[in-house]
């Protein structure tokens, strides 16, 4: 391993009861958006929800994570695959990067196949913007099936 990277994870408030199983598994496997850390050790220094629409916790949680050493914030895959996906995700990303100087990565674990199928049928991600947002967690079919 070539060094340590400290990250924070922010999940959609709809999933406030989520224990983070897929996210933590993906960290261990360096799958989905965590593949950018293939040669690094990863330490999670914060894990919280956005605070619910319209994302009140986005204003405060990144600062706490930064105080704990976070170099990047990951928006959980649930913010992308939820029904509907978070409509403020791009604004939240810009806000955190501007206010706190932290890199924001869209996604954590690979998108499960069942979500890809539903969003494809709904034409949710058919714009260039959403294709860019889903790309870090899209993975291959075998991996998506493993995360179903």
Find the CATH number of the domain harbouring 30: 3.40.50
DSSP, collapsed to helix, strand or coil, labels residue 118 as helix
Q: What is the mean pLDDT of residues 80-104?
A: 97
Q: How many domains does the chain have?
A: 1
Q: What is the mean pLDDT of residues 117-122?
A: 97
| 44-48-49 Cα angle (round to 5) | 145
Per-residue pLDDT for 32 more than 70?
A: yes
Residues in CB range of 138: below 8 A, 6 or more apart: 110, 111, 116, 144
Q: Note the pLDDT tens digit of each residue in 16-27.
A: 999 999 999 999
Predicted TM-score of the model (pTM): 0.95
pLDDT, residue 144, reads 96
| 91-66-97 Cα angle (round to 5) | 25
Domain range spanning residue 30? 4-146
CA distance 25 to 23: 5
Q: What is the mean pLDDT of residues 46-71?
A: 97
Per-residue pLDDT for 1 more than 70?
A: no
DSSP, collapsed to helix, strand or coil, labels residue 87 as coil
pLDDT range class, residue 2, cuts 50, 70, 90: confident
């Amino acid at each position: 391993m070539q060094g340590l990277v400290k990250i924070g994870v922010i999940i959609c408030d709809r999933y406030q009861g989520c224990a983070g199983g897929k996210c933590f598994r993906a960290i261990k496997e360096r799958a989905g958006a965590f593949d950018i850390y293939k040669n690094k050790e990863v330490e999670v220094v914060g894990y919280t929800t956005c605070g619910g629409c319209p994302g009140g916790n986005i204003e405060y949680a990144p600062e706490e994570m930064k105080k704990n050493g976070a170099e990047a914030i990951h928006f959980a895959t649930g913010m992308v695959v939820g029904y509907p996906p978070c409509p403020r995700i791009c604004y939240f990303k810009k806000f955190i990067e501007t206010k706190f100087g932290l890199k924001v990565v869209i996604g954590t674990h690979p998108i499960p196949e069942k979500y890809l199928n539903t969003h494809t049928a709904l034409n949710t991600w058919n714009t260039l913007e959403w294709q860019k947002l889903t790309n870090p967690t899209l993975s291959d079919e075998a991996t998506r099936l493993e995360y179903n």
